[in-house]
Amino acid sequence: MNLVTFSGPPSSGKTSVILKTIQAIKQRGLKVGVIKFDCLYTDDDVLYEKAGVPVKKGLSGALCPDHFFVSNIEEVVQWGVKNKLDILITESAGLCNRCSPYIKNIQAVCVIDNLSGMNTPKKIGPMLKAADIVVITKGDIVSQAEREVFSSRVSSVNAKAIVMHVNGLTGQGAYELGTIIEDCENQIDSVKGMELRFAMPSALCSYCLGEKRIGEQYQMGNVRKINMED
C-alpha cells in the first residue's frame, strides 16, 4: 500500500483536491481510501462516501489534532491494509500552522490557497516547508500576477517541493497530481518505527488541562509572555 499524507490550513480545498485526484486515480483501476482527521466536526466523510471512497473519520475533540494524528496513524494504516487499498490518503487540517503530520519517506502534500494572502507562505511552518508537493488552489479567482507571486513565495520557503496548481472545482491539475502520487513506489504495510519529519511543539500549560480562569496565579507549566516593553 502507498501512504500519502495531505495537510493544509482549514478551508484551503484539501477535500476537493483529494476527491478530484481520486477520481483520476480510480480510472486506472486502483483502490483508494481516505482517513479524515479533524477537530470538532466534519461531514466530509459523507462526500467521500458519496464518491464511493472507503472512508473513516477521526475527531480529536479536546486534543491537539496533530498529536491525535500521530497517536492513531499506525491503526489507520492497518485499516488500509485490511481493506486492501492500493493508496491510503490521510487528510488533516493544520490548525496552528506549527505542526505537520509528515512522516519521513512517506509522500507529503500541502494544500494552500491563493486567497489566503501573500504572506501565508511565510507564516506556515513545517507543514509547508517539509512537504514534497505543494498544491495551490483557488487560482481561478485571482489574477495571473498574484498566482505568480504566491507560487514564487512558496518556492522560496520550500525550494525542493513540486509546486502545482489544482482547481478543486473543475479538477484541472488533479489528473497530473494523481500521476505523481501513483508514481511513488514506496509500498508499506506499517509505519511502526518510522519518524515524523518535524517535532510537534511541546505545549503543556494549565489551559491545556482545562483551566478557565484568567490571571497569573492560574498559569502553570509552559507559559511564555509577550514582550510589552517599548
Partner 1 sequence: MVTREILMQMKIDEILSKYPFVLTYFENNKLDISGSGKKTLMEYKKQFEDYELEEWAMDLSKLDEELILYMNQMLEFLGEEKEQGVDSLTILAGQDKSGNEETFGELKIEKSDIIAIVGPTGSGKSRLLADIEWTAQRDTPTKRGILINGEVPDKKWRFSSSNKLVAQLSQNMNFVIDLTVGEFIELHAKSRMVEREAEVVARIVEAANYLAGEKFNLETPVTSLSGGQSRALMIADTAILSTSPIVLIDEIENAGIDRKKALKLLVGEEKIVLIATHDPTLALMAKKRIVIKNGGISKIIETSENEKDVLSELEKMDSIIQNLRADLRGGNTVKGDFYNA
Binding region for partner 1 (CB under 8 A): 27, 98, 114-115, 118, 121-122, 125-126, 129-130, 139-146, 148-149, 151-160, 162-163, 170, 172-173, 175-176, 179, 198-199, 201-202
Query: In this complex, which beta carbon is closest to partner 1, that of residue 162 or of residue 188?
Result: 162
d(CA 102, CA 113): 19
d(CA 151, CA 52): 33
Q: How far is the CB of 192 from partner 1 (least distance, A)?
A: 24
Q: How far is the CB of 152 from partner 1 (least distance, A)?
A: 4
Query: In this complex, which beta carbon is closest to partner 1, that of residue 81 or of residue 194?
Result: 194
Q: How far is the CB of 146 from partner 1 (least distance, A)?
A: 6
Q: Is 11 left (phi over 0), alpha (psi -120 to 50) or beta?
A: left
Q: Locate 93 and state its grid cell.
A: 487540517
Query: In this complex, which beta carbon is closest to partner 1, that of residue 33 or of residue 171?
Result: 171
d(CA 166, CA 229): 45
Which of the 8 DSSP states describes residue 116? G
Query: In this complex, which beta carbon is closest to partner 1, that of residue 35 or of residue 124?
Result: 124
Question: What angle is formed at CA 132 by the lines to CA 127 and CA 135, rounded to 5 degrees?
Answer: 75
Query: In this complex, which beta carbon is closest to partner 1, that of residue 27 or of residue 190?
Result: 27
Query: In this complex, which beta carbon is closest to partner 1, that of residue 46 or of residue 169?
Result: 169
Which of the 8 DSSP states describes residue 174? H
Q: How far is the CB of 46 from partner 1 (least distance, A)?
A: 26
Q: Please enumerate in sequence order all residues whose Cβ is within 8 A of that of 148, keeping only pairs 6 or more positions apart, or say none.
A: none
Q: How far is the CB of 205 from partner 1 (least distance, A)?
A: 15
Phi, psi dihedrals of residue 89, rounded to the nearest 5°: -110, 130
Q: Please enumerate in sequence order all residues whose Cβ is within 8 A of that of 55, keeping only pairs 6 or more positions apart, or say none.
A: 33, 34, 35, 36, 45, 48, 49
Among 179, 140, 138, 186, smallest CA distance to 162 is for 179
Q: How far is the CB of 144 from partner 1 (least distance, A)?
A: 5
